Amino acid sequence: MTQWARIDTDGPEPGGPSIDAGSELDPVHPVKPPEPAANPGGLTSAEVAERVARGEVNDVPVRSSRSTADIVRANVFTRFNAIIGVLWVIMLFVAPIQDSLFGFVIIANTGIGIIQELRAKKTLDGLAVIGEAKPRVRRDGRATGISTSEIVLGDLVELGPGDKVVVDGVVAEADSLEIDESLLTGEADPVVKQPGDQVMSGSFVVAGGGAFTATKVGREAYAAQLAEEASRFTLVHSELRSGISTILKYVTWMMVPTAIGLIISQLVAKDNNFKDSVARTVGGIVPMIPEGLVLLTSVAFAIGVIRLGRKQCLVQELPAIEGLARVDVVCLDKTGTLTEGGMDVAEVRSLNGADDGYVRKVLGAIGTSDPRPNASLQAIIDAHPAGTEDGEGWRCTDALPFSSARKYSGARFDEGEAGTSTWLLGAPDVLLPAEDPELAGIEHLNEQGLRVLLLVRAAGTLEDPGETEAIALVVLEQRLRPDASETLAYFADQDVAAKVISGDNAVSVGAVAGKLGLPGAENTVDARTLPAEREEMARALDEGAVFGRVTPQQKRDMVGALQSRGHTVAMTGDGVNDVLALKDADIGVSMGSGSEATRAVAQIVLLNNSFSTLPSVVAEGRRVIGNITRVATLFLTKTVYSVLLAILVVISQVEYPFLPRHLTLLSTLTIGVPAFFLALAPNKERAKPHFVRRVMRYAIPGGIIAAAATFCTYLLARSHYSGPGSLEAETSAATLTLFLVSMWVLAIIARPYTWWRVGLVAAMGTGFLIVLVVPWLQDFFALKLVGTTMPWTAVGIAAAGAALVEVAWRIMDRKFPA
């Protein structure tokens, strides 16, 4: 049976070069491909078993996330963990257990990071199984859906519109089969395939259907050798991760010379007790390391994945959560995004005196000719089901696949005694001349948001129709998604511009968008009138909101034009016609019910097919970015004041003021515990660029002021106290100043205040107060305020430091706005 091409108003253009075996584009394939299997029923169960026994199975593991070993390795074997680990071992031998607490904290943090990432991996892997496509393979004469990993050498794999070629093979059957190889070659034009032609994994079907024999599976397949082509073009850039990497690189450069100077100062220049000198040296090095920053970033991403997973949202690349939060333009494909996949025939209107019964018979013939109809044709099939007189006795002798360049498809039928007839079905404004009076009535239907297809009879062939006669209009009602209006309102409220880009008639698309309340929906643009020059196209895109009659290549160009103006662009879609734009967009979002090809290139897959999940993804990304920016400032303020304190100690040739236990206490109360809560808190602030600049503009002045205030208190305490135990009193005074200034930094970071944020800051302050008043905690942490003069002086200096921090941050806000 000849397969009828997809009837749609979107789709890639036909034509274009194929990839020949043995060419430069295909270095891993032999020049002469093996012949396809002769058995149309596929392999038998016995043959499958034989191939499995020989290991001829598509055994390449499809992982949605890192392996357990990779997660453990990434969390344990880090540069900073190695440094802290060595210092911890030293402290276990030379100092009391209190001074080794930082090592236990690192172990706990690493364990938390591993557990959270493993939970995220479990969520991702589970969702990936749910969303995995099941290719149809013929075995024992029956077609069944199986897992990709179960395909064996020689299997006969069926193909239909939207299916991805999962292993290499040779076409055995072809029914107007067109395959897009753009993910391999970069060429957007689909290639017509005939029996004997080669197909490669990573390509996908855009029209027609057929079957191919698997000739290379597992690690020999082209896709395996390229390590999954669908994603190699679209690896998401993460400003957050690259920014943190940049910060850690600078921290390392600062830390090494400073630590060497401190070691020389404390162990060589100072004639103190050796063990005490070692402890104070370690106490100066450890806080320079922002050891919890990477951990909290990983935890925040992992928890984001788990939260979205509960909403049936598969995040195929973790930084995509961050990317969507930065998006300021979202391009929406109408079909499958604003509207549900299904449609209904509202009316069949005969034209030019055509007999209604004959029109139904034509539509019935078209419907029974396609075993895998799309939404438009399925609506026609539902209205004219097989088994009735509609189309009975007609035989389809030829078919013309749908093309986005043509905007119509066609078929030729043998009507028996009546002879043959040639029919075209597609966009009325393409099939009819611009002055045709019928278009006025069709425009009225489009204004109501209805989808209209025109059925015409052609005098010539499918390739050269010649004179045509309009026979009927097929009016389709589209089902609006009930959650689309609310989601569009959310994007408008968040200053994210929504652009509806569709292959349908612009007026019809605008009517649908208008019903959903999209701002600017009344100003529709026919994409055929858009300028080809990128700058001009970008200007038109900024001004308009609804674009119709868009070809797949135009979708790709439109995404590029928006990006050229500095926009971060997200693209949603579910059909093969959206693949090119999804691949080029900053973030590609696919519906779970979409074609396998779109799911392969998208970074985010909405498995529940709910457009309303997108705000959750945006909100999760904003939570991650906003909160990590907050806590990064805390960590890096500590790094700045630790480095500066070490430099001041080296210059002054005095004992380092703190033991490791003091800085463990300070880090826990002013950074560790509050950062964990702040990193996971709700945050609706829109993501802003320049992560490193935004963090360092606060961390540098805050760290400098904290170090200066602390060292000032320490020098005053050294001149104030004398005699045995004076070093502990000096340390206690300096610790009090550093804690109070750090608490003010925390108080600024915690803004805007809510009841729980105020409670968090108060709880940390109360914790430090308890250490100061409980005798056994005083002894444990070697903290005891002596007298009243110096402690109150420390408080006064801290108050001045806090005031300076407030002023400095306000100046930074005005001078370097985000």
Catalytic residues: 333
H helical segments located in 668-751: 673-679, 691-720, 726-749
Read off the DSSP letter of residue 184.
H
Structure tokens at 333: 């494909």
Strand partners, 43: 139
For residue 548, count other CB atoms closer than 10 A to its CB.
Answer: 25
Strand partners, 588: 571
CA torsion angle for 677, 679, 683, 689 (degrees, to 10)?
A: 160
The residue type at 715: L
Report the run of H or E that residue 240 belongs to, with start and end: helix 239-264
Strand partners, 395: 414
Beta strand segments in 592-643, E: 604-606
User: What gap in Å lies between CA 48 and CA 62, rounded to an integer?
Assistant: 21
Read off the DSSP letter of residue 173.
E
Closest CA to 229 of 204, 192, 254: 204
User: What gap in Å lies between CA 293 and CA 301, rounded to an integer?
Assistant: 12
User: What gap in Å lies between CA 588 and CA 515, rounded to an integer?
Assistant: 25
- End-to-end CA distance of the chain: give it in Å, rounded: 63
Which residues, other chains included, contact 139 with Cβ-Cβ below 8 Å and sequence gap of 6+? Answer: 42, 43, 44, 45, 48, 155
For residue 633, count other CB atoms closer than 10 A to its CB.
Answer: 24
User: What gap in Å lies between CA 337 and CA 500, rounded to an integer?
Assistant: 10
The DSSP annotation for 387-450 comes to TSSTTTT-EEEEEEEEETTTTEEEEEEE-GGG-EEEEEEE-HHHHS-TT-THHHHHHHHHHTT-
Q: What backbone phi and psi angles, to 5 degrees, belong to 73? A: -60, -45
User: What gap in Å lies between CA 552 and CA 146, rounded to an integer?
Assistant: 31
User: What gap in Å lies between CA 256 and CA 638, rounded to an integer?
Assistant: 16
In contact, 459 and 474? CB cutoff 8 Å: no
Strand partners, 329: 497, 569
In contact, 239 and 621? CB cutoff 8 Å: no
Compute the chain's Rg from CA coordinates.
34
Strand partners, 606: 313, 591
User: What gap in Å lies between CA 558 and CA 543, rounded to an integer?
Assistant: 13
Token look-up 């009325």 returns: 428
In contact, 295 and 113? CB cutoff 8 Å: yes
Strand 524-526: give its sheet, edge to edge. Answer: 313-315, 604-606, 587-591, 569-573, 329-332, 497-501, 546-548, 524-526
